[in-house]
Chain A
Amino acid sequence: MISAKGLGHRFGERKALDGIDFELGAGEIAALVGPNGSGKTTFLSCAAGFLRPSSGELRVGGFEPWRDRRRVMERARFAFAPPALFEGLTAREHLRYLGNISRKGRPRLRAGEIEEALERVGLSERADERVGAFSFGMRQRLALAQALTPRPELLVLDEPTDGLDPLAVLELRKILVRLREEFGLAVLLSSHLLIEVDLLVDHLLVLNEGRCLFKGQPHELSKGNRVTRLRASDTERAASVLLAAGWSTVPAGNGELQLAGTAHDLEQVRTKLNAAGIRLDGYWEQSLSFEQALLERLKAARRNSSCEADSSISVTMTAGPIAKDLEA
């Protein structure tokens, strides 16, 4: 359904996307993950034909979105964040008017289809209220409903879980899985809620500063990723000594240090610390969770960028534990 090869997009001098390769087949669910400004929405905007790729090739449903947006939209449906809706229209009118735009040669949407979509997102009881009075979460649900009416072959959702309560998030996950199983719907979503991504998607594309940081199945991200933690008699000095010896560490709480990467010569570490009069009290290896693995990737990318550009870059995320860890 989506095929990107070397996709790039520039906003002036800034590369928002740089050489992205990505494939999404029918019936697959994939997620775009990355910090703010990593290029997720730019990728989705290119896929919708709103932005013209500066380089590379992009096809959605077999068509180039920038040239054939109308044909792409006959097969795909997009819901961007934050959900923009017509304030003066009711939820039902949104589905009726938007769903019946340009249905050449096809029958109009049946009232039953509209009711079904409203019920699916839990808006049946407020279907005839104007959207101006809706909360953010209700807008988000209506945006999803309009994207499902009429049912597309490809559904692209930008931050679909923003503003949804946990039950609604769970329901969204069920809806997407059911649509995939029943109708072979392909889904591409961008999300900050990594736990949802981990549970839902088949493929993952992690972006950072417009570049691909990881591409594959979610479990592959954490596969083989282990970190070494150590406890020393003086963690602050230990960090300095190890840094001077070429090992970078991050504080891991409880007086522990985490060594970046996993292949460490612990005997050398102990020797260096002992030589500096620091006692190594303990060490152990730890497998990374999906979130931790992603965090490590982002941290590593930040370190590499800092080295390359000789200046610090900031990596920020809007919510969740990763954001806190990165800020720390």
Chain B
Amino acid sequence: MIARLECVRMLRSRRPALAVASLVFFLALMLLGFYTYAQTQTGGEVDFRYTYENRSYFNGLTFALYAFYFGFQLVLPIFVAAEGGVHLAGETSAGTMRLLLARPLSRARLFSTKLSLALAYSTALTGGFLALALGVGLVAVGWGDVDLYPGVLQMSERHEHLDQALALQRFLWIWPVASLAMTAPLCLSFLLSAYLRSPVNAVACSVALYLVLFVVSEIHFFEELRPWLFTSSMSYWRELLREEIDWKAVHQSAASLAGWSILFSGLALARFRHREEP
């Protein structure tokens, strides 16, 4: 019954609608960005279906890949972090945590229900965003084979070619893999939320910490730190877009992210089970 209660509350909240609206807005901005960039590059003579850097390889799948790449790193973690903040700190701040704890329900069960629901939400949001990006790419540009070159996304050090069917299959694989990657910031936000009673502080700290770690993991100065940061492994889903997937690297990153997630959620549960509710 607690799971049903939490589901109903989430669905009736504005959070999912707000997240979807923001992601749609982000995709619209990306589309606009591509279009204006193309206009600049072609001196205003733009045929949107075959523009951007190179008309030979840009299509709806490339657009979806670019949109997901940036959205995954910068937009989705914000909503995921907010989810952690809402579930523990938000509930505490609103006083409803006491309402739940005043029922014969163990803290461990309450925590695991909330975490499971947040994980499901994060997975749905990741999949929804990916599907939306593919849909917008199909409608606005049109699909085709995926060609990746060394460049902006640092996805490949050489030219990679995936035909459309294979690329779509790989996009499908990306969903669970990217969802797993998103569990680490989600569990981090639960951890901070178990300590900070203000939801604003919990969300702000989660987002700030994620961004700091993300930036550190992207800067070459901190190369020695990278293996110790969960953000270094988060973009491992890009491996799935290679012609030959390095499964060992995928498994290592997945294991690392799962480890971080278990650590964060374990610490969060330990804190939640022993904290007072004044």
Binding site for B on A (CB under 8 A): 11, 45, 48-52, 69-71, 73-74, 77-80, 82, 84-86, 88-89, 93, 97-98, 100-103, 146
Contact = CB atoms under 8 A, between A and B. Distances in A.
Nearest to A101: B103
Nearest to B6: A97
A100 to B, nearest CB: 4
Contacts of B109: 102
Given A52-B276, A102-B104, A80 B98 contact: yes
Contacts of B5: 86, 97-98, 101
A58 to B, nearest CB: 14
B12 interface: yes
Contact of B9 (A49, A88, A100): A88
B103 A73 contact: yes
B1 interface: yes
A155 B70 CA distance: 53
B13 A101 contact: no
Interface in B100-153: 100-107, 109
B interface, over-half SS: helix
B104 A101 contact: yes
Contact of A73 (B1, B9, B13, B104): B104
B169 interface: no
Interface residues of B, number: 25
A89 B276 contact: no
Contacts of A51: 276-278
A85 B104 contact: no
- Most chain B beta-carbon neighbours within 10 Å: one of A51, A79, A101, A102: A101
Nearest to A97: B5
Contact of B102 (A73, A85, A86, A100): A73
Contacts of B1: 97, 100-103
Nearest to A147: B102
Interface string B258-278: 000000000000000000111
Contacts of B105: 70, 73, 101-102
Ranked nearest first, the 6 interchain pairs of A and B with the lowest CB-CB distance are A84-B95, A88-B12, A50-B277, A97-B5, A73-B104, A100-B1
A210 B5 CA distance: 37
Contacts of A78: 98, 102
A69 B104 CA distance: 7
Contacts of A79: 102
B2 interface: yes
Contacts of B220: none
A86 B4 CA distance: 14
B8 interface: yes
Nearest to A109: B1
Contacts of B13: 88
B12 A84 contact: no
B104 A74 contact: yes
B158 to A, nearest CB: 52
Contacts of A146: 99
A245 to B, nearest CB: 47
A98 B99 contact: yes
Interface in B1-56: 1-2, 4-5, 8-9, 12-13
Contacts of B277: 45, 50-51
B104 A89 contact: no
Contacts of A102: 1-2, 103-105, 109
B89 to A, nearest CB: 14
Given A50-B278, A101-B1, 13 more contacts: A50-B98, A50-B276, A51-B278, A73-B101, A73-B102, A73-B104, A80-B102, A84-B99, A85-B96, A97-B8, A102-B104, A102-B109, A146-B99
B94 interface: yes
B137 to A, nearest CB: 35
A70 B4 CA distance: 20
Nearest to A132: B12
B99 A45 contact: no
Nearest to A96: B1
B102 A48 contact: yes
Contacts of B278: 11, 45, 50-51
Nearest to A66: B276
A84 B276 CA distance: 18
Contacts of B98: 48, 50, 78, 80, 84
B2 A101 contact: yes
A174 B24 CA distance: 55
Contacts of A80: 95, 98, 102
Contact of B99 (A11, A49, A70, A85): A85
Contacts of B103: 73, 98, 101-102
Contacts of A86: 5, 9, 96, 99
